[in-house]
Structure 1
């Protein structure tokens, strides 16, 4: 293998111009795949990928057995339009008139008309104006006329009477508004049709028209929160992020590269390799048909970081190898030969870590593992061919015109070398203590994992630190009105009706005809209600269950009411005997209503469906679902039946648990595979399997320290952070391999263990320091973005990079020295192996 690598490196360093020409053509061919890139993948997976989960199975069962019930509930959807005036009164005559004029404009818009439900548009302005007109059925023009003719005091009086007499008017006002005749907030309800008569395109066009019309009334405080508003908010967000993060990130990267390389030409050559690596990655993804997905920024930043790391090792080793009388080609040949083995090993083990994600059930995570692996392989090819060839070409040209291109390697300076060598001193004096401390820290990481919070995702925060807003020029972050509006609305409003609420279902199966069934279900519902999870808005039915459905039918059907009363032994309004007869009577009285809550197949009752309208947000899932599960446990009674929480919140929570479990499996697979690979490679190349095992051990400590960092910084386990945990191994293995391989190379060359260790931590350690500073600095700039998920992403990667560096320079030297003491520091190199060239 080394002979073949040597032949390739010889060709690259001897025929640098041919290499560049060939790789330029190859780059063009690979980059041609970029236009074919598929970016349609989403962050989730289909139900089939999680069909072994009880909640997913329950959700599928509900969809199959209660289809008619679902269809009856989905023929309309509402689009609230909000009115806000922080220092004024949105119940004033002028504001209500604005609302009526707004309604006239949107209802006359052809795009809105095409998707408008027969219930149309309604708001408190309609109720007030109709009262003033003396006609509950007054047309919109008549309402406008009546409100225009009224005085402010008449309007105020009408508002007060309306709120006192009509509780349904509260749906248009903030929760717990009461009967006050002034308010800073109100909302209108636009009802869109979702039946077969309208298409999704119709609804999309109606939403766009609503957004545009609402913007025309923005000065009056009108706004809408729909897909068009969020799209503009996202564009605003990315624009602000580019203006703030990109300049800072480039400044950090270039500053550190200039410090590390102390040479502008080397900075340009290294960054050229980084750009080519990213282009190759996306080109290969396009050709191979791998979906890039919605989080393609992850492979970009990770590949950029690894590419910068590769560049540091190539340049640093070249500088170490070039003596005073050397030309350019020979030391570059030796430097690339020396470092290529480590780079290949890094690529292989990192690929193992990333490809272990193929065991994950989510397609986006599997695709991401493939994407990053392709990127690492691309970086390897670029940095052992293009970068050395380009470096030789440019340095040769410059030296021919009289410029000396010799530079000192990072880590060999007067100030930095003693700092790096201190890790050797620590290893000599306290290696066992370092090992014990590492084991303890690893154990703390294991305990911290069990204490991490789990969330489906981290809710964006509309607040932006003042100093970020006060930065000069385009750097200043301008907060998005949409995010602030969204946060405000979620704080003061409850859902306007069932179609606007997040719903959760509880599926009860087995023993649904036992006498205690309905009592246990009612007890479970009351327990959930006491937790404050249900919507209390007067216009919303918070619970649909057999009890509520039966009571509703009994109000209209006297004979069924008599059946309920006859089977209620303690007069609490809940039947508790011979429930099969009650169910039969229910179906006979109103089968359409009964089939929404009861499943009857071949005359047998197999399941019950309880539907809850929740006063919650999707980000509340990790808190809400356990309390729903407690209520479901109460519905099970004494084990007579099963009750499973379903619905979007419950399914998301179950999927998150499954993914986190998958991440643990992924990490274990990756760690085992990497350990086996290192053992095999070190045995093959250096004659010591045990040395490979020693190099692999610190990776587990890196993972543990990252978990500790997450716990200290209160970073929760979400779909994104769980994914990043599986990628930490791919990052953590890099630095240890470079130090371990350099140590082995020095031993192969005949150095004593202490001298070999000193060469590894000063030579290779200097390159690792530059790589860490550059990559960690660049990722840290992402933390400037006021978005919790991106901040968590940046924090985890920075922690992984810094801890990997510290572990490779503090813990690994102690392990290597202990290994040398117990093995006499001797490597059994194969007899036919050529000694590694050293200077």
Structure 2
């Protein structure tokens, strides 16, 4: 079947059997609606960090060791703050809170650890239960308590659980962290349960159990609040976008029936897409919050084009059936071109090794395909059926005049690109390309970042958000303040450290010396004590315990050949002595029982650049004689940042190449002019270059969501230029006059594009109202890319088409003279 026959059959089905088309689409909508209840959410950053080498190393560290501070999977942190958390009242509040939690079987507690427990055990070494520890603290005199705190202060695990202001001499600290380890259920949460983190219900309920000076924190609280942020963002964005979209749709359609059909089609598209998510088992992440506005953008564009092109025929006095048949045959091809290139743009993200970005690309590509079907088939059928009934019943249409019609104000402004193309198309394009090149060169320096903060609400929400009335006003979020508190008060917080996992026979004579030498004269971002990196390792434990135990100190001295305090011989005997001592648990936080894996935690400058810290961590790992692997949150997040940049570049290259091939093929197939495909890419390349420069100018980095902006700009931007070029080609085939074709296109199609641009920019721009910074940045850059694409399509494309037409004419003239020697054309 030829392309013409296929288009004719689809257009014929729409106009000849509109009722059957409407019923079929409603049935399919009902089918997709069954998937809506199965849509689940996936909050947080875990999806970005899966399967990275640094993440694998971090998981190995968490599995092999029992860090005194770093919360492992299945752990809740209880953060206590007061004038002195080591005073008896504070110690008792922490211990009684832990006892209350442990006694509740619903919390599934396996173990607890706290500074209060360590103090109690210094008071009474037999106090192994929380009840006994409470008794020990209650019985202790002030002098006994001070002495117990003083003894506990020599334990690195005790220090790690206290804030940076801990004063060992005075025995005071303003904050402490206790850890509660849970036995997690083996069955995963059911779909649609909200958060996939099994700790969420435990930690949310625990918030009602703790005392006023204790804050519950952990992955479950983070997941719960992130899920709430998604819901709150949607509650603000969707009504705001709907209101703005409604205003522009009223202007674009100016007819209640057309407005109702447009809104119904948009709703149908969203039901299909979200139903697909549920049926396909794709969790709804914060990145997917951007998909509905994108679908609305393309859907609105298609809808306005259908109605506007249809009205261009109706004003000639043609019937609904004939008008839609003419409009449908033209628009189906244009819609197919737009859909194909847009799907390529979005689907290019599926090449990303970051699962959330890949899911975003797949979901957006599927959603755009659904948009094409709904607005390319259902809306025209519904429009024909509605207008046929109107004509039969004698109900007049309120507005049939197309946007941008000659004589209107808009119609006078839209052909500005044609005016430029008449006068100096070549000079204009050279200037445009120079500006685009400069913008792209400047934009090459865009920063790349990845941080958990991107997905969290701002600590200080703007007044226009906090002053919203119920139910739109967002709730109170504790996570940002808690994370800030941890970062400011705990040096051992994960954001200020990097870890090196060392693997190999740690009983070799050189093993400990190698660990010590690796930290000598460290890179610039690592905090130092004189010449050595400030670090904690098995060497730290050996030195600490040697100060407390004279017998162990003699063992170390006997095996310390060079007298630097680090044993060189009989390392297995030294490790065994540590495991048989009171510091066994601390020892196991830095070395495994088989003596083949160790971890070294290096302190780094909190204000250092993430990229520099990660690079320095790799440098430290390579200094070890045994196999060293750099890991930790900073290293993992930098690895994600690097992948985000690679995703942005790779997806853009893939999308550009595939789009070029597709456009050349489709224009060759449909119009017999494949070179138009290259012309079609020019305004898009200009738009992408401008958005790159704008991002750097506005200080917007590549992050988990803005990394998709190039493919999004390509996908949405191709929409505008494809409509212009396809309409020009159709007009050229009828008139043969390139300038007349451009005039008709910029007024007819340009009017629809203007309505689409205004609606899309406002609809996507409302993402700036999102509670999380990442969505606001995405909304801004996509709105800019849409505007640049619109302007390029109407201003740059006419000049490009004029030059293309001249080059084509010159090429045909050369071919004619070559084919017919001695023949010369007149003029």
* TM-score interval, smaller chain: 0.7 to 0.9
SS at match of 1:697: helix
* Aligned equivalent of 2:462: 465
Q: Alpha-carbon deviations, 1:733-757, whole Å to 9, x = none? A: 2111111111111111124111111
Checking the alignment, whether the CA contact within 8 Å between 2:647 and 2:707 is kept in structure 1 is no
TM-score normalised to the size of structure 1?
Answer: 0.79
Checking the alignment, whether the CA contact within 8 Å between 2:42 and 2:284 is kept in structure 1 is yes
CA distance in 1 between partners of 2:99 and 2:242 (Å): 52
SS at match of 2:77: strand
Q: Does 1:660 align with 2:660?
A: no
* Aligned equivalent of 2:26: 24
CA distance in 1 between partners of 2:297 and 2:430 (Å): 31
* Aligned equivalent of 1:837: none
Q: Which shifted more, 360-369 or 266-275?
A: 360-369
TM-score normalised to the size of structure 2?
Answer: 0.80
Q: Does 1:102 align with 2:94?
A: no
Q: Does 1:427 align with 2:421?
A: yes
In structure 2, the CA distance between the partners of 1:482 and 1:351, relative to structure 1 (3 Å rule), is closer
CA distance in 1 between partners of 2:27 and 2:553 (Å): 85
SS at match of 1:215: coil
For residues 143-158 of structure 1, the aligned pairs below 5 Å read none
* Aligned equivalent of 2:821: none
* Structure 2 gap segments, 5+ residues each: 190-196, 814-827
Q: Does 1:611 align with 2:600?
A: yes
* Aligned equivalent of 1:7: 9
Match of 1:693 among 651, 660, 678: 678
Match of 2:296 among 301, 304, 309: 304
RMSD: 4.9
* Aligned equivalent of 2:819: none
Checking the alignment, whether the CA contact within 8 Å between 1:351 and 1:376 is kept in structure 2 is yes
In structure 2, the CA distance between the partners of 1:481 and 1:596, relative to structure 1 (3 Å rule), is closer
* Aligned equivalent of 1:755: 740
Q: Which shifted more, 805-814 or 16-25?
A: 16-25
SS at match of 2:208: helix
Q: Does 1:452 align with 2:446?
A: yes
* Shift in Å, 1:648: 5.0
CA distance in 2 between partners of 1:240 and 1:226 (Å): 21
SS at match of 2:319: coil
Checking the alignment, whether the CA contact within 8 Å between 1:742 and 1:760 is kept in structure 2 is yes
* Shift in Å, 1:617: 9.1
CA distance in 2 between partners of 1:138 and 1:468 (Å): 47
* Shift in Å, 1:255: 0.9
For residues 245-324 of structure 1, the aligned pairs below 5 Å read 245-284=237-276, 289=280, 291-294=282-285, 295-324=287-316
SS at match of 1:749: helix
In structure 2, the CA distance between the partners of 1:74 and 1:590, relative to structure 1 (3 Å rule), is farther
Checking the alignment, whether the CA contact within 8 Å between 1:458 and 1:718 is kept in structure 2 is no
Q: Does 1:786 align with 2:771?
A: yes
For residues 172-187 of structure 1, the aligned pairs below 5 Å read 173-178=162-167, 185-187=174-176
In structure 2, the CA distance between the partners of 1:503 and 1:445, relative to structure 1 (3 Å rule), is same
In structure 2, the CA distance between the partners of 1:234 and 1:40, relative to structure 1 (3 Å rule), is closer
In structure 2, the CA distance between the partners of 1:701 and 1:781, relative to structure 1 (3 Å rule), is same
Q: Does 1:678 align with 2:670?
A: no
* Shift in Å, 1:481: 3.3
For residues 264-413 of structure 1, the aligned pairs below 5 Å read 264-284=256-276, 289=280, 291-294=282-285, 295-399=287-391, 400-412=393-405
CA distance in 1 between partners of 2:102 and 2:50 (Å): 42
CA distance in 1 between partners of 2:205 and 2:23 (Å): 53
CA distance in 1 between partners of 2:182 and 2:716 (Å): 50
CA distance in 1 between partners of 2:10 and 2:51 (Å): 44
* Aligned equivalent of 1:625: 614
* Aligned equivalent of 2:480: 483
Q: Alpha-carbon deviations, 1:576-626, whole Å to 9, x = none? A: xxx7x676876897899999989999xxx9x98542165799998545312
SS at match of 1:385: helix
* Shift in Å, 1:643: 5.1
CA distance in 2 between partners of 1:345 and 1:366 (Å): 23
SS at match of 2:397: coil
SS at match of 2:600: strand
SS at match of 2:675: helix
Q: Which shifted more, 796-805 or 391-400?
A: 391-400
CA distance in 1 between partners of 2:811 and 2:5 (Å): 24
* Shift in Å, 1:74: 9.8
Q: Alpha-carbon deviations, 1:488-510, whole Å to 9, x = none? A: 333223348x9x99662254889
CA distance in 2 between partners of 1:358 and 1:767 (Å): 31
* Aligned equivalent of 1:711: 696
* Structure 1 gap segments, 5+ residues each: 829-839
SS at match of 1:531: coil
Q: How many correspondences in the alignment?
A: 783
CA distance in 1 between partners of 2:662 and 2:570 (Å): 67
* Shift in Å, 1:313: 0.9
* Shift in Å, 1:129: 13
* Shift in Å, 1:690: 1.9
* Shift in Å, 1:387: 0.6
* Shift in Å, 1:342: 0.6
SS at match of 2:519: helix
